[in-house]
Structure 1
């Protein structure tokens, strides 16, 4: 049975790889700035995570899954990072994710089969040089996801993936 899956930022990188992996078996909705890399049959919603409110009227009545892919990686020594770097990283990684989560949460099925997936970095758990800004932003995602998972269990699963090469 096909599922309704929303990906935020699925036109490039990891998000696009997820779209290509899930394409064909599911009803995919991708909210992103661009759509030229999306396969046929994927519904595109024009959306910029930093500036737009997600228009949920273009989505089905219920979603089985939601994946938030936008992110940043400011790899600079701490002494070279300005306050604005931290704010920019928090805005795209955390605050925009928070805004989208609020918009889609009412659409997630309440039958114990829905999932939300966010992305982090191994730098949160291991500490890596030049990762202070992104580790702070992704650490906020990890804390948020753990609390949200506890709040919505067992009806909605919430997971964070921390890719590493």
Structure 2
């Protein structure tokens, strides 16, 4: 009887511990493979007429055209780092998620969330993180291409094409509209 109670207690503790860990809700990034699988599912559904996009079509026009996922592979100035894979997701209500993954041994992705302001007049996207961190600036080349700038808004040294982030539908390597 004691053995079965002990096993039951262990199982209950395991379940409670698992629920506790999942409730902490750390930022989990999707892998490229998961994103591609979602894109394929979305493409299959749209080809078979199963999706109705009228519910979230943007009647305001310009405000929605800048939303999307922007990808880039920027230079890295750290030792043993070949570059920085950056993924910037500009979402509804001017929220953003920036994922940075250095291409080096023992790399760790970093995540940054905050608000963005898309200013066509000034030609800049301003990213303001939720946590105490400096704002980031990106120049608007067009609605599908952003140029990463220094903290003070000046161009970074070297070939500017190395600092580009392209929206997924422009880059041709991802599907932007995924359900």
For the pair shown, the structure with the greater C-alpha radius of gyration is: 2
Structure with the higher strand share, 1 or 2: 2
Higher helix share: 1
TM over 0.5: no
Q: Could you tell me the TM-score, scaled by structure 2's length?
A: 0.24
- Bigger relative contact order, structure 1 or 2 (CA pairs below 8 A, ≥6 apart): 1
TM-score, with length taken from structure 1: 0.25
